[in-house]
Amino acid sequence: MSIFQLTDEPVFPDPALAEENGLLAVGGDLSIPRLLAAYSSGIFPWYSQGEPPLWWFTDPRLVIFPDEFKVSRRLTRTLKNSNFTITFNKNFTEVISSCADIRIQNGEGTWISDEMKEAYIDLHLAGYAHSVECWLNNELAGGLYGVALGQIFFGESMFTRISNGSKAALVALVNYLKLRDFAVIDCQMTTKHLLAFGGREIKGEEFRQLLQLHIPNTPKQK
> How high is the pLDDT of residue 218?
59
Structural domains of the chain sorted by starting position, each given as residue range(s) with its CATH number in brackets:
4-59 (3.30.70.3550), 62-214 (3.40.630.70)
> How high is the pLDDT of residue 42?
97
Distant-in-sequence, close-in-space partners of 13: CB < 8 Å, separation ≥ 6: 4, 24, 25, 221, 222
Q: Global pTM?
A: 0.94
For 158-177, what is each residue's pLDDT tens digit? 999 999 999 999 999 999 99
Distant-in-sequence, close-in-space partners of 133: CB < 8 Å, separation ≥ 6: 86, 87, 88, 90, 91, 94, 95, 140, 143, 169
Higher per-residue pLDDT: 217 or 174: 174
> How high is the pLDDT of residue 1?
55
Task: Give the whole-angstrom CA distance, residue 167 versus residue 159.
Answer: 9
> How high is the pLDDT of residue 105?
75
**Across the chain, what does the average pLDDT equal?**
93
For 67-104, what is each residue's pLDDT tens digit? 999 999 999 999 999 999 999 999 999 999 999 998 77
Task: Give the whole-angstrom CA distance, residue 195 versus residue 205.
Answer: 20
Task: Give the whole-angstrom CA distance, residue 101 versus residue 54.
Answer: 22
Q: Is 140 left (phi over 0), alpha (psi -120 to 50) or beta?
A: beta
> How high is the pLDDT of residue 45?
96
Q: Which whole number is the average pLDDT over 57-75?
A: 97
